Amino acid sequence: MNMNMVAMCLENDRYLWCISQEDAYLYRIDKEKEVLEELIALTDDIYMENAFLDMVEYLNWLILIPGKGDDVVLVNRDTLEKRTIKLPVAGSFIGTTGMKFRAGLVHHNNLFMFGCAYPGIVKVNLESREIEVRDSWLLDQDIVFNDSVDGCFFNNYCLLDNTVYLPFVNANAVMQFDLEKEEITIYKVGNDTQRYISIEWDGQWFWLIPRDGSKGAIIKWNPDKGVTEEISGYPVEYDYHKLAFYRSQIIDDRLLLFAHCGQHNISIDVTTGQMTTFSHLYKVEGVRGSKYPIVLKEKDNIVTLHNGEYIVWNYVENHIGRFGYKLDDKISLRYEKKRLIEYFGENQLKYENENAGLEEFLRYVLFESDEIDEGLGR
What are 238-275's pLDDT values in tens digits? 766 678 889 999 999 999 999 888 888 999 999 999 99
The architecture that CATH gives domain 246-325 is Beta Barrel (2.40)
65 and 117 Cβ atoms separated by less than 8 Å = no
Burial of 145 (0-12, 13-18, 19+ CB in 10 A): middle
If one counts every other C-beta atom within 10 angstroms of the C-beta of residue 141, the result is: 5
5-245, superfamily in CATH? YVTN repeat-like/Quinoprotein amine dehydrogenase (2.130.10.10)
Report the candidate in 260, 204, 267 with the shortest Cα–Cα distance to residue 231: 267
* Phi, psi angle pair for 332, to nearest 5°: -60, -45
- pLDDT recorded at residue 344: 63
- pLDDT recorded at residue 351: 47
Residue 130 has pLDDT above 60, yes or no: yes
**94 vs 76: CA distance, rounded Å:** 32
**80 vs 83: CA distance, rounded Å:** 10
Distances in Å between the alpha carbon of 251 and those of 151, 174, 255?
A: 28, 22, 6
What is the pLDDT averaged over residues 65-80?
Answer: 97
pLDDT tens for 283-323 read 887 676 678 889 999 989 999 998 889 999 999 999 999 99
- pLDDT recorded at residue 261: 84
**46 vs 3: CA distance, rounded Å:** 14
Tell me the domain boundaries of the chain: 5-245, 246-325, 332-368
356 confidence band (pLDDT: 50, 70, 90): low
For residue 137, how far is the Cα from the chain centroid? 25
Distances in Å between the alpha carbon of 370 and those of 222, 277, 333, 335, 340?
A: 62, 51, 12, 15, 13
Burial of 203 (0-12, 13-18, 19+ CB in 10 A): exposed
The pTM assigned to this predicted structure is: 0.90
